[in-house]
């Protein structure tokens, strides 16, 4: 295994999987273009080929030199530290929260879900004083509503499930009343 670590192998496997999936799906649009002899598949397949080469090169590099670095411009010196289980748990929660928020946007809408999302992010960033969380959540929510609804009139997701949709409709009606529309 040389100096390869498990993370090097996982990294290589993910990139090889990406290359494999994109290559396999390239047969779905493998049809000639009358004005261009290389067709629609040529460019993606060349990119996939080079990605395969770079992934194997990266794997060889780790095999030969371990987790050494090379002199490229602007690389960050600071690296992830997942030595503590608490950090990992908190990071999983931080990564999942926006996804859950995005998933709920369609049924629930942004007007109802936003305060919960804001409070959750403040909490995950280490704030534990509930009064501060409440005040800052309200403040950020008001800034958000003021900017996008009242000033920009931006069309935002309202949800499609009752009573969340009704709540969004009430917010929009309130905004219309305040602006005299």
Partner 1 sequence: MIENFLAGSAALFGDPFTIGIFVFGVVGGMLFGAIPGVSMLTLAAILLPFTASLEPAQGVMLFAVIYCTGTYGGAITAILFNIPGSAENAPTAFDGYPMTQKGQSGKAVGAAVLCSAIGGIASALVMMAATEPLANWAIRNIGPPEIFALVFFGLVVASSVGARTIWKGWMSVLIGLLIATIGQDPVGGINRYNFGMTDLAAGIAFIPAVLGFFAVSEIFVQAEKKASGKYQAPKVSMTFPSFIELWMHKIAVLRSILVGFFCGILPGIGATLAAFMSYGEAVRWSKNPEEFGKGKLEGVISAETANNAATGAAMIPLLALGLPGGALTAMMVAVFQMHDLQPGPLVFMLSPDLIWIVFAAMFYANLSILIIGVLETKTILNLLKIPFQFLAPLILMLATTGAYIGRGLVLDVMVMFLAGIIGYLLRRSGFSIPAIVLGLILGKIGEQNFAQGMQMVHYDLGTYLSRPICAILIAAGVITLASNIYRAFTSIKTKA
Q: Name which of residues 151 to 170 contact partner 1 (CB under 8 A).
A: 152, 154-157
Q: Which of 169, 138, 142, 143 is nearest to 156 (CA)?
A: 169
Q: Is residue 35 within the footprint of partner 1 (CB under 8 A)?
A: yes
Rounded to whole angstroms, the Cα distance separating 129 from 119 reads 11
Q: Which of 116, 16, 4 is nearest to 56 (CA)?
A: 16
Q: Which is nearer to partner 1, 61 or 167 (CB)?
A: 61
- Options 52-60, 163-171, 172-180: segment touching partner 1 (CB under 8 A): 52-60
Contacts to partner 1 from residues 14-33, by CB under 8 A: 15, 18, 22, 25-26, 29, 31, 33
Rounded to whole angstroms, the Cα distance separating 179 from 42 reads 55
Instruction: Give the three-class secondary structure for 33.
Output: strand
Q: Which is nearer to partner 1, 148 or 167 (CB)?
A: 148
The count of residues interacting with partner 1 (CB under 8 A) is 80
Q: Is residue 58 within the footprint of partner 1 (CB under 8 A)?
A: yes
């Amino acid at each position: 295994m040389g100096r390869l670590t498990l993370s090097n192998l996982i990294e290589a496997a993910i990139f090889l999987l990406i290359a494999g999936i994109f290559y396999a799906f390239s047969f779905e649009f493998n049809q000639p273009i009358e004005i261009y002899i290389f067709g629609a598949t040529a460019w993606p397949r060349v990119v996939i080929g080079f990605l395969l080469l770079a992934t194997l090169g990266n794997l060889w590099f780790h095999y030969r030199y371990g987790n050494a670095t090379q002199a490229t411009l602007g690389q960050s010196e600071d690296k992830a530290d997942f030595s503590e289980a608490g950090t990992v748990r908190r990071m999983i929660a931080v990564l999942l929260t926006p996804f859950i928020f995005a998933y709920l946007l369609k049924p629930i809408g942004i007007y109802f879900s936003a305060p919960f999302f804001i409070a959750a992010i403040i909490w995950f960033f280490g704030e534990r004083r509930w009064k501060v969380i409440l005040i800052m959540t309200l403040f950020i929510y008001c800034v958000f509503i003021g900017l996008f609804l009242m000033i920009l009139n931006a069309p935002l997701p309202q949800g499609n499930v009752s009573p969340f949709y009704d709540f969004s409709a009430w917010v929009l009606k309130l905004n219309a009343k305040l602006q005299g529309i």
